[in-house]
Chains A and B, each alone.
Chain A
C-alpha cells in the first residue's frame, strides 16, 4: 500500500515506550523464584523458616499454600504446575516463590529456602523417555473427549504428550514400487526463542478481581486460564499487554502469569515476577525434533509417496506442543503433489525445559528433513534441485490437504524468483573456501483460528480510535492495522490511534501468532469500518429525516438528498456530501459524541475454510565455508515474501529479514546443550545468537503481490514464512559446499570442520 512510518518509532527511539517489564503498581512487592536444582526428583521437604524471617519478606509461597486455587494450567493439557507439587520434572522448575518488599530482599531470602530432594531417574532425551518405564507424569490430566481446536491430546501416561498421524493413499506400497527411494534423517536442536525482554508478569489479586500486566502474546488465552484457576468470571480478569520486547511465538499462551497471580493471592499485594535469561531458557524453548523422511520418485522425478516420522522432544510439560506437532505433520511433506502419504508424529515428555510455540511452529523442524531430502534426491536422480522442485510443486488452487483451503500462492513463480536472484550474484569461491547454493520452499497452514473482533470509535472531529487485542511485539501491527482503518475510513493515518491490548477494554482476539494479524485482524478492522459507515449512514438519515436507503456513502463522504436538508436544489437526486464528523456532530447536536463500528471475523465468509491462508516460505542461500576453520559465511540470502498484497512493504521486508536471520541462527549457531540433568549453556555467552557480523553479505528481498490472499486487498501473512525453509536451505548449501550432507544442526565451525574431515576421508577412501 504505502510506506507509512511506524507509529511507535518516536516512543521507541526516545526510550519512552513502556514495556511490560517497566510496569509498576502502587504498593507493589517483588518476587524471587526458587527453581529446581534437579531434573527429576521427589520433593521431600521445603524448609522456609529462615527465608520467612529474612528482612522485608512478605510471604514464602509453595504449592501447599495455594488453597483452593486451580493448581495447574495448560490450554491443551492442564499438566503444568504453578509451583512444583510432590516432584520436580525439569532443572529450573519453580518450586517456591519468595515475595518481599524489594527485589534485593526477595533474592536474598530466596537463598535461604532449602529444598530437600529424592532423586528420580532423569529422562533428558526423547528416545530415553519413550523407552523408559519411569513416568514423568504419573497421571493423565486429560478429560475424556477433551479437545483444543482439532487437537485431542493423548490421555496416556507413557511419557507421550501427544501422538498424531496424517495419511492417504498407500505410502508403503507406492514406496515399494517407486523407481528411486531417498531417505533422510535429521536432528533439529533444542532452541531458545530468545526475546530480549525476558518473561515477566505483574499481578494484582483483589477480592473478585485479578489484574495482570505481562509479556503475553495471547492475552485472551491467558485470561481464560486465570479465570478458571481463580474461579473468576472472564470479565473480572484483566490482562494488559503493553509493548513487549520480542515474542516470536515464545510468549504464546500462559507462562509466568499464574505464578505472579498466586503470589499476589497469598501475599495480598501486587507482585512482580521477572526472569533473567537463564530462567527464561527454563520457561520455554522450541521442540527439538528427530525427523526421518523417505520419498519415492518415479523415473521422471515425480514424487509418488512420502513416509515421514517425526519425534519431538517436548520437555516436562505439554504447553502448546501437541498443536505444534499437529502443525508440523501438516507442514512436513512440502508443498508438493503427494499421491500417497503417511506421516506419524509423537511428542515425548522429557525432563528438560518445556517446549512450545516458536516462530515457524513445527515447520522448520520438518522442513529440515523434507527439503534436504529433495536436494539429496536431486543428486541421486541427476536432476537440478530447482527443476526437481518445479516438477513437484503444487499449482495455485491445488489441494495440499483434503478439506483445507486450496493453495493461494504461486510457488513455482516464487521459486523461480529465488533461483534467478541466486544465479545473478553467484560467485566463485576464493582460495581456501568452498561455496554452495541451495533453495528451499515451505507452505504452512497459518493464521490460526479465525476468531477476531475489532472496534473503531470515530470521534466528533472524524479521527478514530482503533481497538484490537493484537499484541504489538515489533511486527508493526499497530501501524499496519491503522493503515487499513485509515484507508477504509478515508482519513489520514495520523487520525487513527491504536492502543495496547487490554482485555478490559479491547475486544476479543484469539491470538497474536501464526502470522495472522494483517490477514485476520485486518479483516475484522475492515468489517468494523464497514459497520461504522453503516452507523454513520443511519445517523445521517435520522438527522435528515430521510429513509436510510436514500443516503449514500462514497469517497469518504455521506451523501444526503439536499431537499431533505432544507436546501434548495434542482431535484431530489442532487446531494451534497457530509463528512463523518459533520454527521456525528449533527446527530449529537453538539461538537461532541462518537459513533462506533464493530467488526467480527469467525469461521465464515472469507475465512470459512481453514486455514485462513497458506504461509509461503521460499528462500535461497549461497554460503562459503572456510576450509581451515569450518566457519560458514552467508554470502547471499534471498527471500520471497509471497504475501498477496503488502499493506506496508517495509514492515513485510522487516519480517522476512528478521525471520530469515532467526533461521540462520538455528542453522549455524543455536543449540541448548544438556549435559546430563543440566543445561550447560544457560546464557548468551555460550548460547550464541546471530550477530551483526553474521549478517548475510548480500540480501535480496522480493515481494510477490498477486492479490491472491483472503485478507484485506488480497493480503496474506508474513512473519514465520521466511524462517521455515532457512535451516534446510543452509544445510543443503553447506552440504553442497563440503561434499557431504549434514544431518544435524547447528552447523557450528567445529561441526562443519568435522564434515570436511569426513568428506576428505570419503574421497581418500575412494
Chain B
C-alpha cells in the first residue's frame, strides 16, 4: 500500500486566512479527490495543505434572479451541485453533468474548484461551464480577478492561477435554451465531451476532454464549412483513449447527429 509523504495542515476559518496561507508549497485542499492520489504517486509534494472546507465563503450556491446567474462556491461538491434544486432548475445540463462525474465517492468529496484547478483535461465541468459562459472569481490577498473558464484553464493540468491565488467561485448565467452535453466515456475518464447551444441563429460548440483545455466556437447556424474548419483545427490529444483521428471522427459523427447535418 502506498503511503503519503509527511504533510502539514493549515485550517483556515475564513477566506483571508486561507489567502494568507496558500503558497508554492502550501496547496489549497478541499475534496482531495485529485490531490491525495497525486501526493500518493509523488506527483505533488506540498509541505502543507491549506484546508478550505471550513471557509463558508467557498461553499455557497446563490441565485441572482435579476442578473440571471447562479454563483457556485469553489468548495461545493459535485453531489451538492447536482442535487441542488436551484442548479437543477437554472442549470440542468450542468447538474446532469455533475451527477455523472467520476463515481459516487468522487462526487461526495470532489469539488467544483478542485476539478477546475487541477485542470485534468479529461473532465466534464470545464467544458460545460465554458459553454455556459461562466466567470471564475479568483482572489489573492491583493484583490480579485474575473476570468473566463478558458482563461482560468490554460493547458493540460495548467491554470493561470498564481500560487497565492484561490479560486473562489464561478458565476454561471442561466442555461440558454437549446443546450446539451454529450460525452464518450469508454474509460475511467471521458474521452471526449461536447457541449452544444443550438438556436435558430447560431451554433455554439464547446469541445472538452480530448483537448488540452475546453475549446469553444460560435458559428452561424448552418455554417457547416466553419464547423468543419473548427473540428479540423482542433488539437486533439493522443493517449490511451485513442489517437486524434479517432477522436475527430467521433466528434464529427456526434455533431452530424446532433446538428442534423450530413456529409
- In the assembled complex, the Cα of A681 lies from the Cα of B3 at a distance in Å of 20
A-chain residues with CB within 8 Å of residue B2 when the two chains form the complex: 107, 276
Question: Most chain-A Cβ atoms within 10 A of its Cβ — which of B6, B186, B188?
Answer: B186
Mask: chain A, 739-758; 1 = CB below 8 Å from B; 0 = not: 00000000011100110000
Interface flags, B242-263, vs A, CB<8A=1, else 0: 1100100110011001000000
- What's the nearest-Cβ distance from chain A to residue B115, in Å? 16
- Number of residues on chain A facing chain B (CB within 8 A): 25
- Chain A residues with CB under 8 A of B254: 628
A750 B241 Cβ-Cβ under 8 A: yes
Question: Distance (Å) between the CB of B34 and the closest chain A CB?
Answer: 12
Query: Is the CB of B65 closer than 8 A to any CB of chain A?
Result: no
List, in ascending order, chain A residues with CB within 8 A of B257's CB.
Answer: 628
The smallest C-beta distance from B207 to any residue of chain A, in angstroms, reads: 15
On whether the beta carbons of B5 and A754 are closer than 8 Å, the reply is no
**Chain B, residue nearest A110 (CB):** B3
Could you tell me the distance in whole angstroms from the C-beta of A210 to the nearest C-beta in chain B? Answer: 24
Q: Would B3 and A749 count as touching, CB distance under 8 A?
A: no
Q: B188–A753 contact, CB under 8 A?
A: no
Interface majority SS (helix, strand, loop, mixed), chain A: loop
> Are A753 and B3 touching (Cβ within 8 A)?
no
Interchain CB contact under 8 A, B1 and A753: no
A103 touches B187 (CB 8 A): no
Q: Is B189 an interface residue (CB 8 A)?
A: yes
With contact pairs A628-B254, A629-B184, A685-B189 given, residues A754 and B246 touching in the complex (Cβ less than 8 Å): yes
With A685-B188, A685-B189, A749-B186 known as contacts, the answer to whether A628 contacts B253 (CB < 8 A) is yes
Chain A residues whose CB sits within 8 angstroms of the CB of B240 once the complex forms: 673, 680-681, 686
B250 nearest CB neighbor, chain A only: A629
Contact indicator A753/B189 (Cβ below 8 Å): no
B3 touches A631 (CB 8 A): no
In the bound complex, how far is the Cα of B184 from the Cα of A753, in angstroms? 14
Please provide the chain B residues from 148 to 203 with a CB less than 8 Å away from any CB of chain A in the complex.
184, 186-189, 191
Total A-B residue contacts, Cβ distance less than 8 Å: 56
With the chains together, A681 CA to B188 CA distance in Å? Answer: 13
Determine the chain B residues whose CB is within 8 A of the CB of A631 once the complex forms. Answer: 184, 186
CB-CB under 8 A for A688 and B242, given A103-B1, A108-B5, A628-B250: no
Residues on the B chain within 8 Å of A103, using CB: 1, 3
B interface: dominant SS: loop
By beta carbon, the residue of chain B nearest A682 is: B41
Q: Does chain B have a CB within 8 A of A258?
A: no
Q: Mark A137-156, 1 if CB is under 8 A from B, else 0.
A: 00000000000000000000
Contact of A104 among B3, B184, B187, B242 (CB under 8 A): B3
Instruction: Please name all residues of chain B whose beta carbon is closer than 8 Å to the beta carbon of A749 when the two chains form the complex.
Output: 184, 186, 191, 241-242, 246
- On whether the beta carbons of B1 and A629 are closer than 8 Å, the reply is no
State the Cβ distance, B251 to closest chain A Cβ, in Å.
10
A735, CB-defined interface residue at 8 Å: no
Asked if residues B6 and A108 are in contact (CB atoms below 8 Å), the reply is yes
Query: What CA separation (Å) do A22 and B48 show in the bound complex?
Result: 31
CA–CA, A684 and B189, complex, Å: 11
A274 beta carbon closer than 8 Å to chain B: yes
Please give me the residue from chain B that is nearest to A683 by CB atom: B41
Cβ proximity bits B1-23 to A, threshold 8 Å, 1 near / 0 not: 11101100000000000000000
Q: Closest CB of chain A to B123's CB: distance in Å?
A: 13
A753 and B253 in contact, given A103-B3, A688-B187, A688-B188 (Cβ under 8 angstroms) = no
B contact residues around A750 at 8 Å (CB): 241-243, 246
Query: Which of B3, B187, B188: most chain A Cβ within 10 A?
Result: B3
Closest to B246 in A: A750
- Return the chain B residue nearest A627 by Cβ: B253
Are A107 and B250 in contact (CB-based, < 8 A)? Answer: no
CA distance A753 to B188 in the complex (A): 19
Closest approach, in angstroms, between the C-beta of B105 and any C-beta of chain A? 14
Partner of B246 from the list A275, A276, A753 (CB cut-off 8 Å) is: A753
Q: Which residue of A lies closest to B256 (CB)?
A: A628
Q: Report A-chain residues with C-beta under 8 Å of the C-beta of B191.
A: 749
A758 to B78, alpha carbons, bound, how many Å?
41
Return the contact of B186 from the options A106, A274, A629 (Cβ within 8 A).
A629
By a CB distance below 8 angstroms, the chain A residues around B241 are 749-750
The 30 listed contacts between A and B (C-beta, < 8 Å) are A103-B1, A103-B3, A104-B3, A107-B2, A107-B3, A108-B3, A108-B5, A108-B6, A274-B1, A276-B1, A276-B2, A628-B249, A628-B253, A628-B254, A629-B184, A629-B186, A631-B184, A680-B240, A685-B187, A686-B187, A686-B188, A686-B240, A688-B187, A688-B188, A749-B184, A750-B242, A750-B246, A753-B249, A753-B250, A754-B246
Which residues in A have some Cβ–Cβ distance to B below 8 Å? Answer: 32, 103-104, 106-108, 274-276, 628-631, 673, 680-681, 684-686, 688, 748-750, 753-754
Report which B residues bind A (CB closer than 8 A). Answer: 1-3, 5-6, 184, 186-189, 191, 240-243, 246, 249-250, 253-254, 257
Pairs A-B, 3 closest by C-beta atoms: A750-B242, A628-B253, A107-B3
